[in-house]
Amino acid sequence: MSSTKLMSGLKTIKRDFTSNAVAAPSSSQTPSTNVNPGAKKSLNGIEQRLKDIQDALNGQLVQGERMTMKGAAGQKRSSPNEYEDSAAKRRQLPSSWNDAPSHTSSQTRASQGSRNLSRPSTSVIPTSTIAVGPPTNPSRDKPAPVFLSQEQTHILKLVENGESIFYTGSAGTGKSVLLREIIKVLKKKHARSADSVAITASTGIAACNIGGVTIHSFAGIGIGVDSAEHLAQKVRKNKKAMARWLRTKVIIIDEVSMVDGDLYDKLARVGSILRKDTKPFGGIQVIVTGDFFQLPPVNRDPRAVKFAFEAELWGQTIKKTFNLTKVFRQKDPEFVDMLNEMRFGRLTTASIMKFKKLARPLQYDDGVGATELFPRREDVERSNGSRMQHIKAEEQIYKAYDSGSIADTEQGQKVLTNFMASERLILKSARSMGTIVEFTEPQNFMTNPDDPYTVSPASATTKPTSASASGSKGSTAAPARGASLVQKWPVVEFIVRQGQNTGKRRMLVQPESWKVELPNGEVQVARTQLPLILAWAMSIHKSQGQTLDRVKVDLAKVFEKGQAYVALSRATCLEGLQVLNFDATKVNAHPKVVQWSKTLETIPV
Ligand SMILES: Nc1ncnc2c1ncn2[C@@H]1O[C@H](COP(=O)(O)OP(=O)(O)OP(=O)(O)O)[C@@H](O)[C@H]1O
């Protein structure tokens, strides 16, 4: 086991499905997997672009499981209520991982969770976020609560009153913080009918951030290529998916900018058909959020992109639209203005000069470097691999246990490659977004009984549970074959930030499962692995939703509208932001979004 040093940029992943294979020397020891991800082949331009997007999306086919933490920083986490429920649920990170959870004055400390996970560095998790662990000293490390603004409170009340709404706002206006509060309030309101609040998002990592599932997984529609009628027929054959549609009273859809307009219509129609109610989504209350200036839906032809707001049934579904205007993430008005120009793709010469000046190198005395963001995944892997090689410390290697019914091995390997969990995870003591402070056996993991964030040894030793693609929870995944031979698991310490305050939380990280299921429940591909990834570097797609104090962005290979804006808007301040290869011609907003945004109204408060 390694010493109690800092561990490597780990991030906890919860349902992030990007693979993170790190080439590693093999001195190790863990057992092998059933399916080995295939070697990468070279791709042509369009294939590469689609692959980049697909990789970053973490598989809409994938159903992940409830993540336990998000390793990364900023994630969005699970609600407090989940905390108090089952052991499995308690393993999820509290909602306040790097993001400050929204707190109302009545909120308890236990309710603070991290919605974001990603934020990551070392390890386990859902990418951005997460972590769960509890502050090591609650009285000293307890982060200060975040109070909702008037704009946020207004929206929360409408949601509580049963209105179907869409709320947006530029990066850092507290959409995620508000969503956490909305989830909390809705769960309380519908406490008597479990699972009547469907928490979904366009991508696995975004879903992870809010303790939900992908919209595809919830709906049970696979990749959703058929007509609404055909998809509804398929869902009828899947008892679990059908039951979900019937019992759902509210559906939340996060990161809607990446939901294709046609898919939105299909979902609304499938809900109508299955619930025998002509209203879109069969009359379910719909809460939609996201920023259309950020990443768009994946489309083979970027010129043919169709946004959700262009869906035929968008207007019939969304009765009220709100635009949050107060930016919380950045305090510096100059930086806020620069980002706003960038958001609309209209940079002034002065702002271009300022962004170019951010190429200067930054040094940090405390040994915690900036999170590097790249447009493409191969650059992320190269960067993480190189950082790992430079660490002179004992390594622990964890091999995944893969399984599933899929006969086409090559196809299975392709799917596995898109899982966030690595086939082979190599960990060393080092510091990144999370710090691996030691490797230990579950029974030796000491927790503070007075600390509501603590993941107790009892729950920590629980077998990994997985949510099915259909969204059901609680099924028990087989323990990793390698897991039974590995006696020690990493203990990861995460820094949790709320507002201006920070605290530390530790968690014992144990295997989780990811799987892809057919609508009939058959598991095609599954992987059990520690939910940690290296997080010195991450893709811009994965960074969406996160808040990062120290960021280094390389924009050389930007390939998507909104991508440069997403990357730079993760930073909280200019002092902690380094930008390489800034090119104003690559800073673009989609004209349809610009046009649509003119219809938005802010909330008079
Ligand atoms: N009411 C609030 N008071 C204080 N801080 C807040 C408030 N709402 C949000 N924040 C802080 O602002 C930052 C950004 O919040 P959040 O991630 O919710 O924004 P977002 O709109 O979801 O951003 P993005 O679109 O980039 O994902 C976080 O650090 C969060 O803690």
**DSSP calls for 471-487:** ----EEPPPPTTTTT--
* Closest C-alpha to ligand 1, atom 25: 171
What is the rounded CA–CA span in Å between residue 437 and residue 434? 9
Residue 554 has pLDDT above 90, yes or no: yes
| Torsions phi, psi for 5 (to 5 deg) | -100, -175
Q: Give the Cα-Cα-Cα angle 475, 69, 91 (nearest 5 degrees).
A: 50
**Closest ligand 1 atom to 76 CA:** 17
Nearest CA to ligand 1 atom 27: 545
pLDDT at 462: 24
Ligand 1 geometric centre to CA of 326 (Å): 9
- H-assigned helices in 199-348: 204-209, 215-219, 228-236, 239-247, 261-275, 314-317, 333-343
Strand order in the sheet with 250-254: 213-214, 197-201, 250-254, 285-289, 165-169, 320-324
CA distance 134 to 155: 30
Instruction: Kindly report the CATH number that applies to the domain delimited by 150-325.
Output: 3.40.50.300
- pLDDT tier, 467 (very low <50, low <70, confident <90, very high otherwise): very low
Res 430: pLDDT: 58
197 vs 471: CA distance, rounded Å: 12
Q: Which residues contact 365 (CB under 8 A, 6 or more apart)?
A: none
Q: Measure 289 CA to ligand 1 centroid, in angstroms.
A: 13
Question: d(Cα 258, Cα 50) in Å, to the nearest integer?
Answer: 14
Our measurement of the distance from residue 245's CA atom to the centroid of its chain's CA atoms, rounded to an integer in Å, reads 24
ipTM of the complex: 0.99
Binding residues for ATP: 169-176
Per the model's pLDDT, the better-predicted residue between 127 and 376 turns out to be 376
Quick: pLDDT tens for 17-31: 222 222 223 333 333
Q: Maximum CA pair distance of the chain?
A: 63
Please state the domain extents for the chain. Answer: 150-325, 330-445+487-589
Q: Tell me the per-residue pLDDT of 308-348, one tens digit each, with 9 for 90 and over.
A: 999 999 999 998 999 999 999 999 999 999 999 999 999 99
Beta bridge partners of 526: 403, 515
Average confidence score pLDDT of the chain? 70
Count Cβ neighbours within 10 Å for each residue of 62-87 and write b for 16 or more, e otherwise.
Answer: bbbbbbbbbbbbbbbbbbbbbbeeee
Q: Which atom of ligand 1 is nearest to the CA of 569?
A: 26
Between CA 491 and CA 502 the distance in angstroms is 19
* Residues within a 6 A CB radius of ligand 1: 99-100, 146-149, 152, 169, 171-177, 291, 328-329, 499, 545, 547, 569
What SS3 class is residue 103?
A: strand
pLDDT digits (tens, 9 = 90+) for 226-255: 899 999 998 998 888 899 999 999 999 999
Contact 79, 211 (CB under 8 A): yes
